[in-house]
Structures are given as C-alpha cells and as structure tokens.
C-alpha cells in the first residue's frame, strides 16, 4: 500500500484513510474484521479517546486485510476491510468530503448500506455539522440517509412498546428506568455505535437519521456489517467487550423486598425458604441499612454482626447481595474527606447538591479513578470482607434532582459532554475491586443503568423503578429485547414492578404471577418491589425507628412467595421449579453471551431475520434459539394469540400439550393463570415437556 497526497487532501495513513479541509480533520480506520471507525474534528486532529471501544483488534499481529485505494483525478478513495467498504468523495468546489458505506457481497458486488446526507446542492446541508459553543467545544450533528424500509433495534432501555425503532426519536441520556446504550442494529445488515458519551438525541426518521451530541470534542462512530444479527452482535462484543461468565449461583431465584431492615429479618426469611423447600440462590439487602448515604457500612443497631449473618446464609447455600448508592449525604461520616479530596461530582452553579432523597447529598465521581478506589476500599472492608458476595449498584444513572445535566461536572469533563459514561465507570470500580480480591468467575453486580461497554464489568442491568401495571409489563419485554441487541445480555426487572403493588388485591396478584412467568425466562429471575397493603390503622408502610426514637427509612410490605396467599405461592413455586429445570439451558445461553456476545432474550427477528411478519413483534420473544415465550400481558386474559416465526421447515411444539405446528402462522393458546405459552423449536424443549 502506497501513501498518496492529492489536491483533494485524501491520503492513506497505514490502515486508515484521512481527509483534511476547511478546518476539518476526518479519519476512517479499519477497526476489527468487517468494521470501521470514523472520527472527525474541527480545527484539531482527531483524538484517540476510546470511550466505548476497546483498542482496535487490528493493532494486534493478526491484522485483517485492509485495502485503501485513492483516485487522484476523481478525488475519490475507498477503504475496504472484510465485508465493509467506505467510499470517500472529496469536492473541491466547497472543500468537503462525503462518505458512503457499502457491504461487500460474496461475489464481490457492492450493496449500499447508508450514506452521509448529501449537501442538496443549493440547500448547502452539512452531513457533519459543528455548531460552536461560545468559549467551548461544539454541538455536533451527524446526518445520514438510510433505507426507508429498514427495521432498527437496540439502543438500550426506553419505556416504549414499539420494537422497531424506525421513526423514533430517543434522548441520549440516562434516567431512572432509561438506559441509553447507543448501538443500533439494522435489518439492512449493519450495526452502528455512536461512540460518544455526550447528552444528546438520535432521530431515526424516514428521510434522515440524525445523531446529536450537545457538547463534544469530535465526531466518533463505529460501523460493522454481517450476514446475520448474530454475526453483527459478535463483532460488536469484540469491539466493546464480552460479558464475563455468569456464576451458577446467579441463575436461580433471587429474593428481595423494600426493605429488610434488620439482620434477624434476613435470617428468618432465608430459613423460611428452606423450611418450605423453595429454591433460593440469592437474598438481597436493600438500601438504608446504613446510617447515612455514603457511610458504606451496616448500621450497628440493626445489623450487630454482619459476618455471622453472611456465614449463616452461606451455610444455607444462599449468596448475599447488598445495595450501595453513589450518593454521599452531607451528614455522612465520609462527606468532608471526599469533598476535600475532590472525589465528588460538583455543581457549576447554585447549591452543590445532586439529590434530596432522604436529605441533601452529592454523587461520588465514578469517572475519577481515585474516587472509585476510595469507595471500593470502604465497601471491601465493611461488606466484602464480612462475606457479602455481590453488590447492587443503585442510582447508577445517576438520578439527578431534575436531571439538569448541564449543571454538573466530573473528573472526566462536563456532564453534558461525558455524562453517559457514569454508570459504566460505577460498575467498573466494583468489578475491578472484586477482581483484586480474586473473585474472577463469580462477579455479578446488579445495576440500574448501563452504557456501551458496561457488559465487560459484570453488569446485570435491571429496568429501574417501573410501575406495577400490565402496560409496564409489556414495556419490559421490549426493554429486555432491546438491551440484548445493545450488547447488554444480562438483564432483569422488578418482578411485579416497583411502584404501588398492593399485595392484598386480586388485581396485583394476577399481575405479579404474569410478571413472574415472564421473569422465569429472563437472564435473572428476581423478586423485588415496593409493596404495600392497607394496615389496620390505615397506614400503607412499616415505620422504622431507632432505639432513641429517631426515624429511619420505612419498609414496604412483605414480598416473599408466601406473602400473597396459597394460590400465589403455589404458582410461583411452580415457576421457580421451571427455572431450575431450564438451568442447564440457561447456563448454555450465558456461555454464548460470554463467548460470542449473544443475548439470552432475543426478538423473533433475531432468529428469523428473513421473516417479515416477525420484524415488529414485541410481546413474545425467544429465550435463546430454542424456546419461544409468549407472556400474557393484559389483565383478565386466559388465552392469547402467538405468532410462530419461520416457514414450514420449522416446527414448533407446545411444551404443555405436545401439539406440533409449522412456522409462519398465528395460533391461539390457552393461558390459565397458572401457565404461560412456551413453544419449543424443532422439538428442543430442554426438559419442559409437560411441566408448564
């Protein structure tokens, strides 16, 4: 390969193609097999900030072949690596450069994928637009034209029920129950990662796809192609990191409530599980087991001997998880030290407070390596060394009061420019700390948010504080599918929803069982929520006070399998048993996630990309390649229609009746409250025949 210079400023630079002009620097790198990375900046060369991406696999000795061709006369150039080609066309009249992305077919022909939006002649549109921020960097907008008939999936967790994102506009920001993970998979055969943690938005319109970073130093995105969704996901995992192995104890049933507020409660519940013969892998101790947020320890009055508690639970075969919040209360014993050492997020204006829940607090700065180490040292001493096995990293967005992102500043930069990286760095601090303890192979941390790359830090993402309604249940099915596409294969929800579940009402009990049936086929089956009931005195909560009469955070109503009566316990026990039956299959799926980046929960489109009827179905899903699960998502329903993807070459066996159907049709399935439709692809029922 020979370097060239031209009057159009296109040049080959090693395994990259570059262009300069009109104050702009553009660089296109081969970045793994069948993938490229595009960066562009105004008035400075592009920077090597990795953000979501790992170092390029092409930096290793086993580099994939790359071809860069430049035509000096035409002012065009191409970079080809594997099955992707980028075509750059330089225009002398306005000193610009336009990019087209194409897929290389097996016979060598090229299929257009998408392209930067043309200038439109007299319209003078800019595909890469830099809007100056006075005294700072730029608001950057990247605009593309893409196939009108493509279907788009991924982008993380948004509380929407449409599965196909074409036509949607999404905020690129985290909120409680919203995790923005900016990777999108197209039915046209490509995957696109917006490699920028800035607050912004994306619009997948029919006439233009537009990505916006409200404040950034440069444009940065990564594109890959593949012949199937599975291949594209594998490429994406190679580029951003693979999930570790899920330990066996993470695959069973997890029990939690808001909140076990003392040591004896936890032990009593654990022993009751054993007495009733209900399998239990993990018990979770939720928030405000501490004196103040940011103390990172158990409160002695209510938790007199945490180590003895953990030892007793371990003897019962139960792992222990505790909740940790990133808030540090102004009253915390650690606040003054952390503030003096610059380990906290700071507000640019006004009162330096990030949240007011249970008193004023500020978030610790997870983007600061010293802050991550400080918090981990506290948590290791006060939790891990006491026998705690795993951590629940709550409030991971973080959940600012009012979400005024522009008012906060991190070690890594202004929140407006880098804020979306926060949850990943929060996960990272605990993952690396547990690695230092030698816990490789057994690290699982529950977290309420994620960004691209969070999966490599053992992040089990749950969908946040969603409502206890059937509408919320429907949304969680879509969230599970989209998070898997976005590269986060470990996902769960609060069984029954978080808010306002009245355990003494038949309506909630029905919702709870339908949600439990759905969760049986999620990566993690986890019972949690802020339950309530009408007490004899008319109150809804259990009020907690210390011995001196001072108030503590209240607790929700009971939330164990037996808390809602015999019928609920019977059905829930059945589905916890189903979870045990499919445990070997679940282990296989976690291995696929670890090795190949494959999601456990898959939309029908994922396994059947050529079935047009499956493209927009978001109320049923594949659990791995073999089991089709169709949760009941409307109150009172005792039947539901189920679409069977594929064609006559695919068979579907109802694991309850044994009846066999051909693919490509819709059937009506019975769905009594004690059961859920599950169909096995080509007879692969994984032990479920006759069990549901």
Q: Which of 210, 240, 270 is the last residue of a domain?
A: 240
Q: Which of 240, 272, 296 is the last residue of a domain?
A: 240
Extract the tokens encoding 608: 């059947």
Cα gap 455→240, rounded to integer Å: 9
Q: What is the pLDDT of residue 539?
A: 76
Residue 58: pLDDT band by 50, 70, 90 thresholds?
low
What CATH number should be reported for the domain holding residue 656?
2.60.40.1180
CB-side exposure of 144: number of CA atoms within 13 Å?
Answer: 21
pLDDT at 8 over 70: no
Cα gap 673→298, rounded to integer Å: 40
Q: Dump pLDDT digits (tens) for 368-412.
A: 999 999 999 999 999 999 999 999 999 999 999 999 999 999 999
Give the three-class secondary structure for 599: coil
Q: Dump pLDDT digits (tens) for 146-160.
A: 999 999 999 999 998
Percent of the chain with pLDDT over 90: 92
Cα gap 380→377, rounded to integer Å: 5
Kindly report whether the peptide bond that precedes residue 398 is cis, defined as omega within 30 degrees of 0. yes
Q: Which of 596, 624, 656 is the last residue of a domain?
A: 596
Q: What is the pLDDT of residue 3?
A: 44
What CATH number should be reported for the domain holding residue 573?
3.20.20.80
Catalytic residue list contains 397: yes
Q: What is the pLDDT of residue 652?
A: 98
**Whole-number mean pLDDT of the chain?**
95
Catalytic residue list contains 394: yes
Q: Based on the domain organization, do 510 and 645 belong to the same domain?
A: no
Q: What is the pLDDT of residue 14?
A: 86
Catalytic residue list contains 662: no
Q: What is the pLDDT of residue 60?
A: 59
Cα gap 156→158, rounded to integer Å: 7
Q: What is the pLDDT of residue 463?
A: 97
Q: What is the pLDDT of residue 621?
A: 98
Cα gap 487→489, rounded to integer Å: 6
Cα gap 568→680, rounded to integer Å: 26
Extract the tokens encoding 108: 């060598």
Q: How far is CA 618 from the centre of its chain?
A: 17
Q: What is the pLDDT of residue 560?
A: 97
Catalytic residue among 397, 519, 530, 620: 397
Reference 623, options 517, 550, 507; nearest CA is: 517
CA angle in degrees (0–180, nearest 5) for 109-113-118: 115
Report the range of poorest mean pLDDT among 121-135, 286-300, 397-411, 549-563. 121-135
Domain that holds residue 638: 603-681
Q: How many domains does the chain have?
A: 3
Residue 316: pLDDT band by 50, 70, 90 thresholds?
very high
Do the domain assignments include residue 637? yes
Cα gap 210→592, rounded to integer Å: 33
CA angle in degrees (0–180, nearest 5) for 323-579-271: 55
Catalytic residue among 50, 352, 358, 465: 465
Q: Dump pLDDT digits (tens) for 660-669.
A: 999 999 999 9
The 8-class DSSP code of residue 169 comes to E
What CATH number should be reported for the domain holding residue 157?
2.60.40.1760
Q: Based on the domain organization, do 150 and 299 belong to the same domain?
A: no
């Amino acid at each position: 390969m020979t370097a060239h210079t031209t009057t159009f400023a296109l040049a080959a630079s090693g395994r990259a193609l570059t262009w300069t002009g009109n104050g702009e620097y553009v660089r296109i790198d081969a970045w793994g097999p069948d993938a490229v990375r595009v960066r562009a900046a105004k008035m400075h060369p592009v920077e090597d900030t990795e953000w979501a991406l790992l170092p390029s696999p092409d930096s290793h000795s086993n580099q994939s072949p790359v071809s860069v061709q430049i035509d000096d006369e035409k002012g065009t150039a191409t970079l080809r690596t594997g099955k992707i080609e980028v075509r750059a066309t330089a225009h002398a009249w306005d000193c610009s450069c336009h990019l087209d992305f194409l897929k290389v077919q097996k016979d060598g022909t090229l299929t257009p994928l998408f392209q930067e939006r043309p200038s439109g002649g007299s319209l003078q549109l800019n595909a890469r637009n830099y809007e100056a921020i006075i005294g700072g960097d730029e608001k950057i907008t990247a605009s593309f034209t893409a196939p009108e008939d493509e279907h788009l999936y991924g982008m993380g967790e948004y509380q929407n029920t449409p599965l196909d994102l074409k036509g949607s506009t999404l905020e690129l920001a985290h909120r409680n129950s919203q995790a923005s993970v900016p990777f999108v998979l197209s039915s046209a055969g490509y995957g696109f990662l917006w490699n920028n943690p800035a607050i912004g938005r994306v619009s997948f319109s029919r006439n233009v796809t537009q990505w916006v970073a409200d404040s950034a130093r440069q444009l940065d995105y990564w594109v890959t192609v593949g012949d199937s969704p599975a291949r594209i996901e594998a490429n994406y995992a190679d580029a951003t990191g693979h999930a570790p192995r899920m330990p066996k104890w993470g695959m069973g049933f997890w029990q939690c409530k808001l909140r076990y507020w003392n040591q004896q409660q936890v032990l009593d519940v654990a022993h009751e599980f054993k007495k009733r013969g209900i399998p239990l892998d993990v018990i979770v101790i939720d928030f405000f087991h501490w004196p103040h947020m940011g103390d990172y320890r158990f409160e002695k009055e209510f938790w007199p001997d945490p180590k003895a508690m953990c030892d007793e639970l371990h003897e019962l075969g139960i792992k222990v998880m505790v909740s940790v919040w990133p808030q540090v209360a102004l009253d915390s014993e650690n606040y003054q030290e952390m503030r003096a050492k610059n380990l906290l997020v700071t507000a640019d204006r006004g009162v330096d407070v990030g949240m007011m829940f249970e008193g004023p607090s500020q978030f610790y700065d997870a983007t600061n390596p010293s802050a991550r180490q400080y918090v981990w040292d506290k948590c290791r001493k006060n939790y891990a060394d006491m026998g705690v096995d795993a951590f629940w990293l709550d409030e991971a967005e973080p959940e600012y009061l009012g979400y005024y992102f522009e008012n906060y500043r991190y070690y890594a930069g202004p929140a407006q420019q880098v804020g979306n990286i926060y949850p990943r760095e929060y996960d990272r601090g605990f993952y690396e700390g547990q690695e230092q303890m030698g816990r490789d192979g057994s690290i699982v941390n529950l977290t309420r948010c994620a960004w691209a790359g969070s999966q490599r830090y053992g992040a089990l993402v749950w969908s946040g504080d969603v409502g206890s309604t059937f509408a919320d249940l429907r949304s969680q099915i879509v969230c599970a599918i989209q998070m898997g596409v976005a590269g986060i294969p470990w996902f769960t929800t609060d069984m029954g929803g978080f808010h306002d579940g009245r355990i003494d009402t038949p309506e909630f009990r029905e919702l709870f069982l339908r949600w439990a049936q759905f969760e049986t086929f999620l990566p993690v089956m986890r019972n949690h929520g802020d339950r309530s009931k009408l007490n004899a005195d008319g109150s809804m909560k259990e009020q907690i006070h210390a011995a001196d009469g001072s108030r503590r955070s209240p607790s929700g109503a009971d939330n164990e399998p037996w808390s809602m009566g015999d019928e609920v316990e019977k059905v829930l026990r059945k589905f916890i048993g189903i979870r045990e039956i499919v445990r070997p299959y679940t282990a296989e799926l976690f291995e696929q996630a670890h090795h190949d980046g494959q999601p456990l929960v898959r939309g029908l489109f994922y396994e059947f990309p050529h079935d047009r009827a499956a493209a927009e179905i978001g109320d049923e899903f594949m659990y791995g390649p073999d089991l089709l699960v169709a949760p009941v998502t409307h109150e009172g329903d005792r039947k539901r229609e189920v679409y069977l993807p594929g064609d006559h070459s695919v068979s579907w066996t109802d694991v309850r009746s044994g009846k066999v159907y051909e693919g490509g049709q819709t059937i009506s399935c019975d769905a009594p409250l004690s059961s859920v439709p599950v169909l096995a692809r080509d007879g692969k029922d994984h032990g479920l025949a006759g069990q549901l």
